[in-house]
Structures are given as C-alpha cells and as structure tokens.
Amino acid sequence: MRRDLEEEYVAFVAARQQHLRRIAYAICGDWHRAEDLLQTALTKLYLAWPRLRHEGREEAYVRTILVRADIDEHRRPWRRERPTTSPPDSAAPTGTPYEERSVLVDALHRLPPMQRRTVLLRHWLGLSVEETAAELRISPGTVKSHTSRGLESLRTVLAEERSS
C-alpha cells in the first residue's frame, strides 16, 4: 500500500477503534471475542482500504464485517459444546461482577442474536431500516419484525429489573 493510503488507514483506525470495539462487544457480549472480531475486521479493512476510502463507507464496511465475523464464529465446529462425563479441573473464569454491568447490556444479551443485531444497528447506531437490511443481508420487513420483537423483549426484561 502507498504511504499516503497507509497513513489514512492508520488515522481512521486511531480515530474509530474504541467506537468499533464497543460495537463488537455489543454484538458478541464478550470483550475477548470483541477484540478478535475487531482484529478480523481491521485486517479486512486494510486489504480493502484503497477501494473503500474513495467511497466513504469505511465504517459501514467494518460494521458489516463485525456482524458477519460473529455469525461465522458461531458456525465453527470447535465452538459447539460437547457433553462430558467428568467435570473440568478448574472452574470457569468469572466475568465482570453484576454490579458493574449495565442493566441494558444485560438485557440486550438476553435477546436472540438477530434481534440483538437489528436493535443495535437500528437504535444504537441509528441506521435506517434499509441500511440495516443491507448490512445483515435480510429484507426490510424482517428487520422491522426482529426490531419490534427485540424492543418488546427489552421492555419486558427492563420492567422485570425495575420491579425487583
């Protein structure tokens, strides 16, 4: 890559990396997996940078890669759980304490993956129905139904949290 293109890429990544990392976390719900997704996305962006920088769709391209990489990761055979007759030698590592986690993020992660993706893209990132449909490669009607169901589920979960 030419030096000026590489400098533009580095500047874009430096400016948007934390924002994109938060998007990756919102998609997958795990900071370590979010780092992996972001690394994959930034690598693919680097390869496509000479073509994309003229179009001005760099961030949309990265978001699309993040969503698709998360979907691909779930399809990998090694990710599937296998039953065992003997328990592991050590306990699973504990996550962030409940007190430190946002109630909204917890509620988002209770949603099915496609509902979570549509709600995040539509309401957190502010994309239109058509933009969300294009990024997820689904129809606008499907985006609307997943978003509607996801928001209703969020309302229910958040109401339960407030009452307890």
Tell whether 73 and 7 lie within a shared domain. Answer: yes
Decide if 116 is inside a domain: yes
CA 115/CA 50 separation, integer angstroms: 33
CA 14/CA 145 separation, integer angstroms: 36
By mean pLDDT, which of 11-15, 37-41, 153-157 is the weakest? 153-157
Tell whether 72 and 119 lie within a shared domain. Answer: no
Decide if 82 is inside a domain: no
Inform me whether the pLDDT recorded for 126 exceeds 60.
yes
Decide if 19 is inside a domain: yes
Q: Which two tokens stand for residue 96?
A: 């962030």
Counting the structural domains of the chain, the total is 2
Tell whether 61 and 107 lie within a shared domain. Answer: no
How open is the CA angle 149-152-156, to the nearest 5 degrees? Answer: 135
Decide if 84 is inside a domain: no
DSSP state of 94: P
Decide if 37 is inside a domain: yes
Chain centre to alpha carbon of residue 122: 13
The whole-model pTM stands at 0.54
CA distances from 60 to 23, 56, 135 (A): 12, 9, 8
- Please report, for the domain that includes residue 161, its CATH number: 1.10.10.10
Q: Which two tokens stand for residue 138?
A: 């689904």
More confident residue, 91 or 34: 34
Choose the final residue of a domain: 12, 42, 77. 77
Inform me whether the pLDDT recorded for 88 exceeds 70.
no
Average pLDDT over residues 56-71: 88
Decide if 87 is inside a domain: no
Q: What is the dihedral of CA 141, 145, 148, 154, to 10 degrees?
A: -140
Tell whether 70 and 110 lie within a shared domain. Answer: no
Tell whether 68 and 1 lie within a shared domain. Answer: yes
- What residues make up the domain containing 145? 101-164
